[in-house]
Structure 1
């Protein structure tokens, strides 16, 4: 994390870590009426993107500080006036709490939520708000009691004989060596840094009231006569007949008749007479001449 050079009197160097400036900026935002702390729920809290958020930018020399702040404003409240008071409070707290000059402070109103306390913040309250942090000065240190000198027992000093100084031998420098004199570096030229222009505050207008549109009531519905059905005759329910209990009866004995077997009559059967043979009869007929010639040719062949 980068460090910022603080403007403090006296010798030495004072540096403030950017994380300390971030916490000072968050405390300054929470002190302004009309701002909400720990806004943004659901996924924003899990990803660490809850409001308010502060991003501190420091250049390489540690002298130019820029602040980008995103805040949530309680609605209804003058959003532009709340953002302006947040910017002034951050600049004042940096100067008084850390001795750091904020060169640029950008405030972005990311969300607007209803105030949980249902307290309305007006322009008069914001105008009378004191941006100074109101830190208590350091307590004066307690004055120490004067110390009383205590007498100590003296120790006799023994004389010590110093050894004779050693003889110094002269050394002749070789000829031809010229002395080298280092050149003094030129003083660094300070770079001029111009503060960026202050962003213009854009007033935020409240949304216009919705325009009411007249709505005509529909005409009444005419009731349609409905004829009631004829009266139904009452039906007297009939009780079911009570079943008579079944009395088991013993079966009557059946008299079996004795079968009568009559002798079968045998009828005489005679065999039929054997068939009589029928003598063959010769039927006279005419043989065609072609068949007769064919028979004659077959007989002549050997």
Structure 2
């Protein structure tokens, strides 16, 4: 064995001059994704699901009923999301909620780089009068 390769008689040396993937990762900075960014990604991803609508009004924002609305908690470099979405009535609310959960879990993890462990979705059906905008599919 060559010197410094971690053979039985000597420990492996850490040659930082080599450009190996491990050495590159050790010298990179860290990415601090803010909770607000994760919240925005989750809310936007939920609107990509057919059947969801944006519900927003001054009174709704004050009362906390605007949708979509995400509450994000990050700990140990993973995120947990509680999400409220609005669905245009009539709608298959339960299947929309399932698709929202899967979409938000996948897209938020992918776009933020933070693993999302849980997405809890509360879906409410709203009448056409309560909708601010309707998602259209071309």
Q: Do Structure 1 and Structure 2 share a fold, with TM-score over 0.5?
A: yes
Task: For residue 47 of structure 1, report the CA deviation from its aligned partner.
Answer: 4.2
Match of 1:34 in 2: 51
Task: For residue 99 of structure 1, report the CA deviation from its aligned partner.
Answer: 1.3
Match of 2:68 in 1: 52
When normalised by structure 1's length, the TM-score is 0.32
The structure having more radius of gyration, on CA atoms, is: 1
Q: Is structure 2 residue 56 aligned with structure 1 residue 43?
A: no
Question: Given that residues 91 and 125 in structure 2 are in contact (C-alpha distance below 8 angstroms), is that contact kept between their aligned partners in structure 1?
Answer: no
- Which of the two has greater strand per residue? 2
Alpha carbons of 1:45 and 1:13: their partners in 2 closer, same or farther (altered >3 Å)? Answer: closer
Distance 1:45 1:99 in 2: 29
- Segments of structure 1 that go 5 or more residues without pairing to the other structure are 1-8, 120-124, 126-302
The structure 1 segments of at least 4 consecutive aligned residues displaced by more than 6 Å after TM superposition are: none
- Which of the two has greater helix per residue? 2
Task: For residue 73 of structure 1, report the CA deviation from its aligned partner.
Answer: 0.9
Q: Is structure 2 residue 87 aligned with structure 1 residue 70?
A: no
Distance 1:79 1:48 in 2: 20
Task: For residue 52 of structure 1, report the CA deviation from its aligned partner.
Answer: 1.5
Task: For residue 44 of structure 1, report the CA deviation from its aligned partner.
Answer: 2.0
When normalised by structure 2's length, the TM-score is 0.66
Task: For residue 42 of structure 1, report the CA deviation from its aligned partner.
Answer: 6.4
Match of 1:21 in 2: 38
Match of 1:108 in 2: 122
How many residue pairs match? The answer is 107
Pick 1 or 2: higher relative contact order, CA cutoff 8 A, min separation 6.
2
Distance 2:48 2:58 in 1: 25
- Segments of structure 2 that go 5 or more residues without pairing to the other structure are 1-23
